[in-house]
Amino acid sequence: MVRARVVVYPPTAGGGRRVRVGEEILGRARSAGELLEFLRRAGLDPDAVDLHDPDLIEWRGGGPGVWE
């Protein structure tokens, strides 16, 4: 499984949060489900991702329950 560092940025004024894996910006997720889809496309198994794992995901501007 890929263990690149994931950064989820603070919510934007237009909604959603920018998502980066390593040096690549994957897009703007508007929910935890969309985030997991981005991570699946990046090579992670969404069933094995713990959104509360600080070794994998750095949440900026709120945790996995904050999207607006």
- CB count in 10 Å sphere of residue 49: 18
pLDDT at residue number 1 = 44
| pTM across the whole model | 0.90
**Band of pLDDT at residue 4, cut at 50, 70 and 90:** low
CA atoms of 62 and 67, how far apart (whole Å): 8
Cα–chain center distance at 13: 18
- Of residues 54 and 4, more confidence is placed in 54
CA atoms of 68 and 66, how far apart (whole Å): 6
CB of 14 closer than 8 Å to CB of 33: no
Structure tokens at 13: 């004024």
CA atoms of 57 and 35, how far apart (whole Å): 11
